[in-house]
Each structure stands twice: as structure tokens, then as C-alpha cells.
A and B are shown apart, each in its own frame.
Chain A
């Protein structure tokens, strides 16, 4: 499935027009998804009330609304939907970048040890009591993620990882080593000191959880997501150049070392920020790039924005599902993404082969 026709130039105004339509379409889809995320939740709030709250908050409309409903819609559900969108887009884009740079279709944002490090950091705070209740799990998670990435990067460098096929392989192996180390640390801490209550809290975090999200989290998640999406879009051509490997990219004039360092660092920081807010939500960074590739072809210029959009909508939908599937209970969102993501991945693989 190729978009050879699509990549031919759209001259002048026509091209901008087409781009404009696409942006408008994307914005519409995203807006609809966010609205859906706000309307559906654990308790029933009529759509009319939801719209009234939004009108009040955005346009000072002055509709009569119960303060609890107003709080739930604005402070709970809207923030959740926004963070879900940001996380989904950010993780998907990070997955695209890593799969392109490391030339590995199984690469995902957690490859660099970030998720494992974040878990260790969160567990240190929640179970070992580091910070004595003054440090939140999120802060611990971010610190853990950054520490793990630093160790993985140092290991990769020491092993000679870098550009080239062998280099990419070494980066992946270093990431695996780092992840295993930190996962072991997490298990050790849980086994040593957690009681059932703590273990449950950690498990929820380890599998992804949006229930603690408020506006300050939005202020961290959205900029991080926007930043990584912008950086990714800026580098789509460079990522294309990696199609035949790092040497080929260098021969095509891409400053490979600089691009690789910049993109990996940006990916790591964005992922660390997102994971520290939501816990490790799996499958988004792995599966969404493949879905985007299946729909839009392998050229990063077209599939990257699509990946961001699919990621955002997917995670909003997963969050909604996690709240309504079991009445009275909220499932960890990572469970939903895995349950949906695994069959979706299988479908993509089969469809991809058939289309070939």
C-alpha cells in the first residue's frame, strides 16, 4: 500500500488548502473524542449538563449547574481527557521516533528503561517511604525515569552503541539490561516491604492510572506532548532518511549523531514526564505507529501526525472504557490498552501481510 500519488507535490495553494482541511478534520476528531471523554464517566451526568458546564467555564454563559457537577466535569473529566489525549499522542510519537531510529518495529518508548525506572522511583516513594510522605509518587517516578535513562545511555555509550545497525542493537540491549535491573529493584522493594494495601496502590500505578489527574498535571502533560510532537514533525524527513539505516541517512546528508542524540533525549524526557503523571501505559507506543503506518504508509510526513491523532483518540477511548466496563470500579488504563492493543496488533500484522 503506497502513497506514491500522495507524495507528489500539490502545487501552491492547493497544497495549503489540503493541509488546512486535514488539520480541521484532525481538530474535529480530537474535539469529538475529548467531548466523548467528558460526557461518559463513572456516574451519570446528562450531556446537557456537561455542555452547560463547558459553556459556563469557557464563555461565562451563566447556566444553573450543581457545583459538584461543575467540579466533576471541569476539574476531573476534562483534565483526564486532556491528559489522555496528550499522553496518547506523545507516547505514539515517541514510538514512531524510536522505531525509525533504531530500525526495530518492536521498539517502544519504554525501551530506554524509562518505564522501569519510573516504577522504581514511584515504589521507592510509596513503599519504602523515601521522602516521608512529602514527595509524591509522580516526582519519584520522574526522578527514577531520568536516572534509569542516564544509566542506559551510559551503558550504551560504553558498549559502543550509537549510529549504525550494530549501534542500534547495542542501544536496545542496554535498554533491556537497564529495564531488567530496575524491574528487579521494583520487585525487591515490593516483596520486602509492601503490605496488601501498598502493593495494590503500586499495582494501580504500574498499570497506568489517570484518576489522580488535575489541572496542574495538564500543565505538565500537554506542553510535554506538544513539544515532542513538534520535534517529531520537524524531523520527519530526517527519519525517512533512516529507512535504509544510519549510514544511508548519513550519506543523504543527515547529521546522524546529532539527530539521534537529540531525538532520543527528547523522547526520553517526554516519556519520563508523561509516565510520571499517568504511570506506565503500555501498548500505545508500540501499536499506534504500526496502525498509522498501515493507514498512511511509511512516509513519516504523513504517518507521524496520524499517529499522534490515533494515539490521542485511542487513549481517551481506553480511559472511558476503563471507567465504565466494570460498574463502580475503575480499571487501570494499562489493562485496557493491553486488552485492546494486543488483538489490534495481531490484526495489524495479519492485515499488513495480506496487503503486501
Chain B
């Protein structure tokens, strides 16, 4: 499933939050979206997910504009995980994951064994079997994020979009979420803050002031000049002697 944006732009009032973004996500790749705060990452993700209508340009799924597909169709192919979604309802983990089947259900297609299977698979994929009957309110931040991902998986998506899913989590949960996402094998677009975590993506897109200023492999993108230009920080790349992975070391702000 190919997801791409052509000339995407979104304006709020007179201010362009996203301007003229064209990018194509290759099927199966993990595409990281990085950029300083206010660079338009979240908005771009929402445009790609079809949650906001672009002021200019269009987002396409397999060549068809999202607007033409209809919300249900889009939801069957594409799942969106918000940064933080809360509820005061007294639901269980299983209830939350079952919501993911919404785009597949209707008056004529009520709940069936098939739906049960997808839910079970999603719960297993996120390793939440022990939590199935737990109340939402009793979960930690990391566990809740896993449940959101499980819900997204229950949608049977081919494309997964995640908006800074690890921001508010502790380090262990951050790593486990990223590992989980990487291991799913879906076309993934993930917005990240931590540049070292972004290293693990197949490709990166850098946003600045609403524009996509660079796209490419992490090694090519995360160079000291770019980091200085876009993020305003000075950094050096260090190589781990054990396995050759690159790691960024940041200098203090002058």
C-alpha cells in the first residue's frame, strides 16, 4: 500500500502550518518524521491520515485521493495512533481494542468470530494478553500506548501512522514501543523527537517551518550541518565500536 502526499499544504488563518510537502512512503518502510516543535509534523501526519482536509494538494492511498475514498474505506487501510488519547469511561483493554473493528462493522455486518480473531491477534502482537480484562484506568502510560497500537492493529491496516507515541513514556516503554512498531512489517510513518531513536528508521523526513527540507536515510540526514541548521544544535556522530551503529553526541548550547 503506497501512501503519498502531493503538494500538501494546510493553513490556519493566514499562517501556513504545512507548505508544499511532497513525499512518497515506500511500502513496508518505517519512515521517521523529525523536526523542531511547530515544524508541522503533527499536521502533516493528520493530512496523510485524512483527519484534516488539506488546503492545497492531496494525500493519496494507492493513487486514490483520501477525500474520494470515504472515512470508512480509509480506516480499513490506514490506522492513526495519537500522541495521547484518554478516556474517562470505565472500559477494559479488550473493549478498547475491539473499537478497532469499527470500520469493519455495520448493521449488516455485526460482530462475528472473524472480529474476535483480529482482536486476539492484535492483543498478541502487542503482548497485552495478560491485560485483557484490566480496566483502562489502571494501566500505565506505556501500557496504554500499547493498547492504542493494538487498537490500530485491530483495524487490519496496511499503513500505520504514529504521532510521537513515545513522548510521555519512560525509557523502557519508549524502546519497547519502537521495537514493536519496527517489527510489525507495516508501512509506517512515525513522528519522533528523539533523534537517536530516529536513527532506527529506514528513511527520515525533516520538517522545518512547515516545509520538508530533507528526505533520506538517517545516516545522510542526521549530519552536523543539518542538525545545526534545522535544530539549532551542534552535534557529532559517534560510532559504536561493537556493532558500528551511529550515535549522536550533542554539545551544550553556546
Binds A, one of B90-98, B186-194, B223-231: B90-98
A70 within 8 A of B: no
| B219 beta carbon closer than 8 Å to chain A | no
Other-chain residue from B71, B90, B132 in contact with A250 (beta carbon distance below 8 A): B71
In-complex Cβ contact of A298 among B75, B82, B89 (8 A)? B89
Contact with B115, one of A4, A9, A255, A256 (Cβ below 8 angstroms): A9
In angstroms, Cα B91 to Cα A250, docked, is 20
Question: Is residue B139 contacting chain A, with contact meaning CB distance below 8 A?
Answer: no
Q: Of the candidates B86, B102, B115, which one forms a contact with A252 in the assembled complex, judged by CB atoms under 8 Å apart?
A: B102
* A254–B116 CB distance below 8 A: no
A32–B153 Cα distance when bound, in Å, is 47
Tell me the minimal C-beta distance from B109 to chain A in angstroms: 11
Q: A8-B116, A248-B85, A252-B155 are in contact. Are A2 and B92 (CB under 8 A)?
A: yes
Q: Could you tell me if A9 and B112 are in contact, using CB atoms closer than 8 angstroms?
A: yes
Q: Which of A300-356 contact B (CB under 8 A)?
A: 352, 356
Interface string of A210-253 (1 = CB under 8 A from B): 00000000000000000000000010010011011101101111
Q: Which residues of the other chain, B, contact A244 by a CB distance below 8 angstroms? A: 82, 85-87, 96, 99, 148
- The verdict on B108 contacting chain A, using a C-beta distance below 8 Å, is no
> CA–CA, A103 to B118, complex, Å?
28
> A17 an interface residue at 8 Å Cβ cutoff?
no
Report chain B residues within 8 Å CB of A4: 92, 94-95, 132-133
Q: Please state if A240 and B113 are interface contacts (CB–CB under 8 Å).
A: no
Query: Does B51 count as interface, using CB distance less than 8 angstroms?
Result: yes
**Residues of chain B in range 117-139 having any CB-CB distance to chain A below 8 Å:** 132-133, 135, 137
In the assembly, what is the distance between CA of A7 and CA of B102, in Å? 14
A77 lies within 8 A of chain B by Cβ: no
Q: Are A247 and B90 in contact (CB under 8 A)?
A: no
Within 8 A of B (CB), among A156-177: none
In the complex, the chain A residue whose C-beta lies closest to that of B86 is A244
Q: For the complex, give the distance between the alpha carbons of A251 and B102 in Å.
A: 10
Bound together, the chains give a CA A245 to CA B151 distance in angstroms of: 14
Q: Is A105 an interface residue (CB 8 A)?
A: yes
Contact A245-B85, Cβ < 8 Å, known A7-B98, A240-B102: yes
B254 within 8 A of partner (CB) = no
Q: Which of A7, A256, A297 contacts B111 (CB 8 A)?
A: A7
Distance to closest chain B CB from A86 (angstroms): 25
The distance from the CB of A181 to the nearest CB of chain B, in whole angstroms, is 28
B65, CB-defined interface residue at 8 Å: no
Least CB distance from B97 to A in Å reads: 11
Residues of A within 8 A of B (CB): 1-2, 4, 7-9, 11, 103, 105, 234, 237, 240-241, 243-245, 247-248, 250-256, 293, 297-299, 352, 356
Known: A8-B116, A234-B107, A298-B95. 18 other contacts (CB 8 A): A2-B95, A4-B94, A7-B94, A7-B98, A7-B111, A105-B88, A237-B102, A237-B105, A240-B99, A243-B91, A244-B96, A244-B99, A245-B82, A247-B51, A252-B99, A253-B72, A253-B102, A297-B90
A-B contacts, 27 listed (Cβ < 8 Å) = A2-B92, A4-B95, A7-B95, A9-B113, A9-B116, A103-B87, A105-B88, A237-B102, A237-B105, A240-B102, A241-B102, A244-B86, A244-B87, A245-B82, A250-B51, A251-B80, A252-B75, A252-B99, A252-B102, A253-B71, A253-B73, A253-B75, A253-B103, A254-B102, A293-B90, A297-B90, A356-B135
